[in-house]
Structure 1
């Protein structure tokens, strides 16, 4: 029984190593582009219906949390289908690897938002920029299994995050455009990079 357990553990380790060296093709350019549209639509709706985002931070961030949840669900559904089609037996390992790459920044963003809301609500104006910086870290963490050109997407979120922090520091106000425009442009850029790279040799040594 001990030998069987060791053999199974070795098989899992081998599968993980193979997955780590394989270009991940679970992200579809069209769906990634659609999430950019969701970001822009959310910004427009909040601009039209939310009179004072700074005075209603819970409503402001609840709208963006809903947009993020919808975007994540769309990407997850397509990721499952594309991974089964492109990676066959490695699909589960590839999906787990992709999930683990974005899990730390995602959890950090959630906990950071809760902490600022509970203990320093006057600093919530920083959260849009910080979220973009955290997304950039997730993108950079994915470079080793995605087309190398995807690093340009990470660079965009990194620069846009600090730009938003700089602009928001002037008045400490929340703005739908500070979230909507960077994420719309960033997701469209990511979609274009995925489309042109086609997940082929660009991600491999």
Structure 2
């Protein structure tokens, strides 16, 4: 390795260490609140338009996939803008680390939905609760770079996931309410936490 390559590697390592010790400010409360509104709107639309979600699982899943794409697009656009504003030269590294923390849970959620729909459609009633549990894991994975109180949102998704699984186990039906209401509350809680958090003082050192 040449001296130049070693110097570049050292710079990248230093930037990564700096990013790891910096509170990530790329998530905004307004956008989190907007994703809560997306979840609630999707719930109401499916409640009105889907007479039997259990009998129309593909329509149910596509509706929530569209909601997820809209929400992630809003978060991604704001994340990029806020990171450029708050983290300047570290923005790309901070964004990469934030995505890396949540990506495993996101990929697992997508693959789980495809697997259940394709090979075990009779178990799709479990999907809302499982998605909420995976979301809780993603939130907990992000706590080290966000305000500590974000763990409350992770705890909400964790408890909601098990509660939804328990509730759905009695009738084995898909319901837009057991999907949308926990996510609307969870994202609203995230918005409130980000709004009231005291920035660096409330983040992991």
TM-score (structure 2 length as normaliser): 0.98
CA RMSD of aligned residues (A): 0.8
Which residue is equivalent to 1:69? 69
Give me the whole-angstrom Cα distance separating, in 2, the residues matched to 1:111 and 1:41: 25
Question: Could you list the runs of 5+ residues in structure 2 that have no partner in the other structure?
Answer: none
Which residue is equivalent to 2:159? 159
Query: How has the CA–CA distance of structure 1 residues 155 and 185 changed in structure 2, closer, same or farther, with 3 Å as cutoff?
Result: same
Which residue is equivalent to 1:187? 187
Give me the whole-angstrom Cα distance separating, in 2, the residues matched to 1:12 and 1:59: 45
Query: How has the CA–CA distance of structure 1 residues 40 and 179 changed in structure 2, closer, same or farther, with 3 Å as cutoff?
Result: same
- Runs of 4+ aligned structure 1 residues displaced above 2 Å come to none
Shift of 1:147: 0.2
Shift of 1:126: 0.4
CA contact (8 A) 1:132 1:157 kept: yes
Which residue is equivalent to 2:6? 6
1:149-176 Cα deviation digits (max 9, x unpaired): 0000000000000000000000000000
How many residue pairs were aligned? 205
Shift of 1:10: 1.1
CA contact (8 A) 1:102 1:138 kept: yes
Shift of 1:7: 1.0
Shift of 1:85: 0.3
Stretch deviating more after TM superposition (62-71 or 109-118) = 109-118
How do residues 125-144 of structure 1 correspond to structure 2 at under 5 angstroms? 125-144=125-144
Q: Secondary structure at the match of 1:171?
A: coil
TM-score (structure 1 length as normaliser): 0.98
Q: Secondary structure at the match of 2:184?
A: helix
How do residues 1-205 of structure 1 correspond to structure 2 at under 5 angstroms? 2-205=2-205
Stretch deviating more after TM superposition (109-118 or 76-85) = 109-118
CA contact (8 A) 1:24 1:199 kept: no
Give me the whole-angstrom Cα distance separating, in 1, the residues matched to 2:11 and 2:106: 30
Give me the whole-angstrom Cα distance separating, in 1, the residues matched to 2:204 and 2:138: 19
Shift of 1:86: 0.2
Give me the whole-angstrom Cα distance separating, in 1, the residues matched to 2:197 and 2:74: 21
Give me the whole-angstrom Cα distance separating, in 2, the residues matched to 1:198 and 1:85: 18
